[in-house]
Amino acid sequence: MKENLSAKSYQNNAGAEGYVKFIDSPDGETFKKVLGSAISRRLEHKPHLDILDAGCGPGWLAYQLDADGHRVIGCDASPQLIAVANSRYPKTKFETADLTMPLPYRNGQFDAAILSLSALDLHDQAAAFQNLRRVLKPDGLLLMTIVNPYYGFPVGVWKRGWWRFLTGQTPKLRLRPYNNFLQNPDRNFTWNNSLISYFYTLPEQVNAALAAGFSLNFLQDVVSGEDEKNYSLRHRLYRFPIFLLLEFKAG
Ligand SMILES: C[S@@+](CC[C@H](N)C(=O)[O-])C[C@H]1O[C@@H](n2cnc3c(N)ncnc32)[C@H](O)[C@@H]1O
């Protein structure tokens, strides 16, 4: 069993502050726009859902889904990030909870649960999927956005550099050996100086969700839209599917 290092890294003041700084940066704005709209689109014909934003961080997505007309609770293992979410979005409900431990919600309480880039932070994905399965209604949805494990970080390192940035060229991709990440017994890696995540392959993540009683409903590359020429240069990385969206249905 892996250690719960990721949650600890976000429970550290410097780690939590570093993540908030990223979310508020121009890159974070791009990330929220591209990932947030992919998630909202999956839910747009399903009004007034009860949604759990699981691993909500500073709360931007819970707030967005609230504004879309859903009833949302955001939960996260980091009290620091829950404090940020509460102060930014006082009308949305946020609370501290660890997804790998029994969750403080009723059986079948939610129509949908979202893991927005938080699945890779779970040291025990199997336990978290079982916990989320319990709090979802039968046929409830589990939506996950994940880093594409084949060429997103940590396998893919995307360098833009100032010249590429100024001239609007796409970032340059360097691929590191996939097997190196599989052979690391702890599977953890560090990013943004001090935050820890885990490397899971796509089949591992899908199989863990299937084993917890979900079925795979829909799979999508998350890329910028047809209007990307109107976007800032920072969107150009999103011409590549560095993120994937997976939608499961509770069985
Ligand atoms: C990459 S951040 C994503 C945050 C947010 N969903 C977003 O899209 O900005 C990963 C989040 O997972 C949370 N996390 C890590 N391990 C967790 C656990 N075991 N239970 C609940 N949250 C956890 C972290 O505190 C962090 O807020």
Number of domains the chain contains: 1
With the most atoms of ligand 1 within 8 angstroms of its CB, the residue from 76, 99, 101, 222 to mutate is 76
Q: Is the CB of 78 under 6 A from ligand 1?
A: yes
* DSSP 8-state assignment for residue 185: T
Query: Residue 121 has which token pair?
Result: 């932070």
Residue 178 domain-assigned (yes or no): no
Contact 61, 39 (CB under 8 A): yes
Q: Is the CB of 6 under 6 A from ligand 1?
A: yes
| 184 pLDDT above the threshold of 70 | yes
| 219 pLDDT above the threshold of 70 | yes
Q: How far apart are alpha carbons 202 and 150 in whole angstroms? A: 8
Which CATH number do you get for residue 220? 3.40.50.150
Residue 53 domain-assigned (yes or no): yes
Ligand 1 atom closest to 78 (CA): 25
End-to-end CA distance of the chain: 27
* Signed CA dihedral, 198, 200, 206, 210: sign only: negative
Residue 81 domain-assigned (yes or no): yes
In this prediction the pTM is: 0.95
Q: Is the CB of 98 under 6 A from ligand 1?
A: yes
- Confidence at residue 234, expressed as pLDDT on a 0 to 100 scale: 61
Residue 205 domain-assigned (yes or no): yes
Q: Is the CB of 118 under 6 A from ligand 1?
A: yes
Ligand 1 atom closest to 115 (CA): 6
| 236 pLDDT above the threshold of 80 | no
Ligand 1 atom closest to 11 (CA): 25
Q: How far apart are alpha carbons 132 and 110 in whole angstroms? A: 9
Domain span at residue 240 reads 5-148+194-250
| 140 pLDDT above the threshold of 90 | yes
* Ligand 1 centroid – CA 176 distance (Å): 25
| 147 pLDDT above the threshold of 90 | yes
**SS3 (DSSP) at 21:** helix
Residue 64 domain-assigned (yes or no): yes
